């Protein structure tokens, strides 16, 4: 019985992993839209009862708007879809660990679960600099899953910044000539 | 010379106090708009070079939007006005200490100075629960002024919640009858 029970838990975990990867792939597609605009490639989807109800990608420079982060856009769209400021029973998938504003918006909208691609050691607020998603002082805490398709999310960021440095180097070179 | 210098500083502080009170009064006017909609009365204005470039008030329930906080609306409007996601050299006036999302948005938009009316001991993130506006780990820190027209801002909140409790009591009573 013990072994069967263990197998059942492993099966459930395996199914959840597949589901999480499916939606993280959609978040990565969003991140690639940012990439195509020369924006830091961060993408986000919000899922409710098996349906994507909000999508977003980073458009901060394009829109000249400090609020145009992937998560904020996805939350705005999801709450419009649901017709409520409360996004309880929703899961948010994002390719990069959220900043303090987006982690705050996740708490404010009472999102139940957050699935992260890769971490942001210098500025992330879901465990790196601090963890706003799980503070007992606030009236809401979030279930957190880290590292889903993490390598793919991280590779996207690395390629972006490598290209950015190359572009900046070439620009400097052409200015010097 | 020492006394003259001291007087000059006091004069400057007095002038700044008057300026801060002037704009906080405008933030209170915004808060009253929220009050009139039965929303928690929180208001905000953003000032750049002596001009108000963004206004906002809490519309969370009215708009069914978790992002419809006073500060977020004011930041969105100010950045549209300036045409940049950076709100450097701006001062944000808000009647109540910001939540984690709004404190985060203040950091993300690099607002130079924040002036607060009253504190929010249970949820505020500019010194109460934590202080996101002054963390050395982040790439931006904010100058903070607390308690400008604090009693007026606090009284507005207290009246609102007193009335809310009375309304809820009356509703319960009428349901019981």
Contact yes or no for A79 and B60 at CB 8 A: no
Half-sphere exposure of A118 (CA within 13 A, CB side): 16
Residue A5 has what pLDDT?
A: 79
Residue B9 has what pLDDT?
A: 76
Contact yes or no for A104 and B99 at CB 8 A: yes
Low-confidence residues of chain B, pLDDT below 70?
A: 1-2
Contacts of B100 in chain A (CB under 8 A): 100, 103-104, 107-108, 132, 138
Chain mean pLDDT for chain A: 96
End-to-end CA distance of chain A: 75
Tell me the C-alpha distance between A70 and A26, whole Å.
Answer: 13
Residue B1 has what pLDDT?
A: 54
Residue B177 has what pLDDT?
A: 81
Residue A1 has what pLDDT?
A: 53
Contact yes or no for A65 and B80 at CB 8 A: yes
Tell me the C-alpha distance between B67 and B77, whole Å.
Answer: 13
Strand residues in chain A grouped as ranges (E): 43-48, 51-57, 90-96, 113-118, 143-145
Helix, strand, coil share of chain B (percent; to 5): 50, 20, 30
Report B:82-121 residues touching A (Cβ under 8 A): 83-87, 99-105, 107-110
Tell me the C-alpha distance between A87 and A112, whole Å.
Answer: 8
Q: Which chain B residue's Cα is nearest to A105?
A: B101
Enumerate residues 6+ apart whose C-beta is below 8 A from A52. Answer: A23, A26, A45, A46
> What percent of chain A shows pLDDT beyond 90?
90
Q: Which chain A residue's Cα is nearest to B60?
A: A85
Does A152 qualify as catalytic in the annotation?
no
Q: For A63-92, how does the pLDDT look when each residue is reduced to its tens digit (9 = 90+)?
A: 999 999 999 999 999 999 999 999 999 999
**Angle formed by the axes of helices B100-108 and B70-82, nearest 10°:** 10
Give the other-Cβ count within 10 Å of A53's Cβ: 18
Contact yes or no for B100 and A138 at CB 8 A: yes
DSSP collapsed to 3 states, B40-80: CCCEEEEEECCEEEEEEECCHHHHCCCCCCHHHHHHHHHHH
- Here the ipTM equals 0.94
Six token digits for residue B54 = 């963004």
Residue B39 has what pLDDT?
A: 97
Give the torsion sign (CA, A99, A64, B92, A111): negative
Residue A175 has pLDDT above 70, yes or no: yes
Contacts of B84 in chain A (CB under 8 A): 64
Mean pLDDT confidence for A164-171: 92
Enumerate residues 6+ apart whose C-beta is below 8 A from B22. Answer: none
């Amino acid at each position: 019985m013990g072994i069967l029970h263990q197998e059942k838990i492993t099966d459930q975990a395996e199914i959840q992993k597949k589901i999480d990867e499916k939606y993280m792939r959609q978040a990565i597609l969003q991140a690639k839209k940012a990439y195509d605009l020369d924006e830091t490639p961060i993408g986000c989807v919000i899922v409710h009862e098996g349906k994507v109800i909000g999508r977003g990608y980073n458009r901060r420079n394009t829109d000249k708007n400090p609020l145009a982060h992937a998560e904020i856009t996805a939350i705005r769209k999801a709450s419009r879809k649901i017709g409520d400021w409360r996004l309880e029973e929703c899961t948010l998938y994002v390719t990069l660990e959220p900043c303090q504003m987006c982690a705050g918006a996740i708490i404010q909208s009472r999102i139940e679960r957050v699935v992260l691609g890769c971490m942001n050691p210098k500025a992330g607020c879901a465990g790196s600099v601090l963890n706003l998603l799980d503070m007992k002082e606030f009236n809401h805490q979030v279930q957190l899953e880290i590292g889903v398709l993490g390598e793919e999310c991280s590779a996207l960021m690395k390629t972006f910044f490598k290209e950015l440095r190359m572009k900046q180097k070439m620009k400097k070179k052409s200015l010097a000539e």
